[in-house]
Amino acid sequence: MKQYKIAVLKGDGIGPEIVNEAIKVLNAVATSENFKLEYTEFLLGGSAYDKTGDPCPKETIEGCLNSDAVLFGAIGGYKWDNLPKEKRPESGLLKIRKALGLFANIRPAVIFDELIEASTLKEEVIKGVDLLVVRELTGGIYFGKPRGKEKDKAYNTMVYTKEEIERIARIGFEEAMKRRKKVTSVDKANVLEVSELWREVVEEVAKDYPEVALEHMYVDNAAMQLVRNPKQFDVILTGNIFGDILSDEASMIVGSIGLLPSASIGGKVGLFEPIHGSAPDIAGEKIANPIATILSAAMMLDFLGELNGAEKIRKAIKKVLKEGYRTKDIASFGAKRVVNTEEMGDLIAENAGN
Ligand code: NAD
């Protein structure tokens, strides 16, 4: 029987509530698909700071590096907002991503037919959207040097090396091979030299994937096309700052924040997490939507090679939504019965485990 070691970082706020439901669903699928998941919990974020004085303790990094994958909830909360920057929960997250070498962030944006009304776009524009944003996560303007702020001047530098572009482009093309085989590489090559290099390297990598159709698009146009005709996209491949903006835009056109998963990969182990934060405003109320985390767990199974298990989870979610079960955040979109976090987890686990 195949066995996988999963490092679990529940984090703060609603983190523990939603991760518990994802584990429940994973266990149901593992039993039915005949593989085993062995979980070890580690501290990250505010809860780690409270216990150890460090938002990302050494044991957490070591534990993650010794696992096959990391399942993460969310970190942060009012309680830690006034700490110095390096002690804040958010810096713990940046540290773990860096320590694990996660240079690629993958965010699917898929519309559930049952929740079409949750989108701000018209049904004919949004129905059938299924795209993936592949964003470079550890380079570009957020990290480039020199950077600084003086009295009357401030500056940042957008830098990409050929190697950084090549490795993220490969991930984009690999993902496209598993999907509809189209990559839209987004840049600003009409203005930025760094984008000129981006284009050249992406063209080079594309030669290794002759089945994949490649197009280039300027970022301003891409932002517009995402709301005009999102169905045209399969894989959007882009750098850090453009990806930051476009992935949020892509998420919101498909609806609620409680439904969207993500994967950060590139290093020895991948980290799988919902795109939302720790929602301190509803923590402990048992109303958080666990679906984004459960979908992140499905992405984790995909990356572990347990494709059937991942598909079972996605099917179970669709079925439960189709039957009209909704958590409070999406209750106004076709709810027949409003359920709490645990009940939603139970329903998905029951269906996924069949
Ligand atoms: P947030 O995503 O936590 O919450 C935004 C809004 O969406 C809130 O009203 C919240 O109740 C709601 N929401 C979020 N997830 C939900 C879910 N699963 N079910 C139902 N409703 C949900 O963003 P925020 O309020 O800007 O940030 C809160 C804290 O989270 C901050 O400390 C922030 O730094 C942190 N944060 C962490 C991450 C992360 O861990 N990756 C990401 C973003 C923000």
Ligand 1 surroundings by CB, under 6 angstroms: 14, 18, 74-77, 90, 93, 257-258, 273, 276-282, 288-289, 292, 329
In this prediction, residue 55 carries a pLDDT of 98
Q: What share of the chain is helix, strand, coil (3-state, %, to 5)?
A: 50, 20, 30
- pLDDT tens for residues 178-205? 999 999 999 999 999 999 999 999 999 9
What mean pLDDT is predicted for residues 35-58? 98
For residue 153, what are the domain limits?
Answer: 130-253
- pLDDT tens for residues 264-281? 999 999 999 999 999 999
In this prediction, residue 309 carries a pLDDT of 98
Q: Is residue 110 part of a domain?
A: no
Q: Are residues 138 and 221 in the same domain?
A: yes
Instruction: State the CATH number of the domain containing residue 319.
Output: 3.40.718.10
What mean pLDDT is predicted for residues 26-49? 98
Ligand 1 centroid from CA 316, angstroms:
25
- When divided into structural domains, the chain yields a total of 2
Q: Contact, 74 vs 274, CB < 8 A?
A: yes
The closest residue, in CA terms, to atom 12 on ligand 1 is 279
Which residue, 199, 224, 253, sits at the end of a domain? 253
Q: Are residues 214 and 246 in the same domain?
A: yes
- pLDDT tens for residues 229-258? 999 999 999 999 999 999 989 988 887 789
In this prediction, residue 254 carries a pLDDT of 84
Q: Of 79, 257, 294, which is best to mutate to test ligand 1, by the most ligand atoms within 8 angstroms of its C-beta?
A: 257
In this prediction, residue 252 carries a pLDDT of 85
Closest of 327, 330, 293, 332 to residue 313, by C-alpha = 293
Q: Is the dihedral of CA 27, 77, 262, 91 positive or negative?
A: negative
In this prediction, residue 335 carries a pLDDT of 92
In this prediction, residue 34 carries a pLDDT of 96
- Give the pairing type, strands 235-238 and 182-187: parallel
What mean pLDDT is predicted for residues 206-230? 98
Q: Is residue 119 part of a domain?
A: no
In this prediction, residue 107 carries a pLDDT of 95
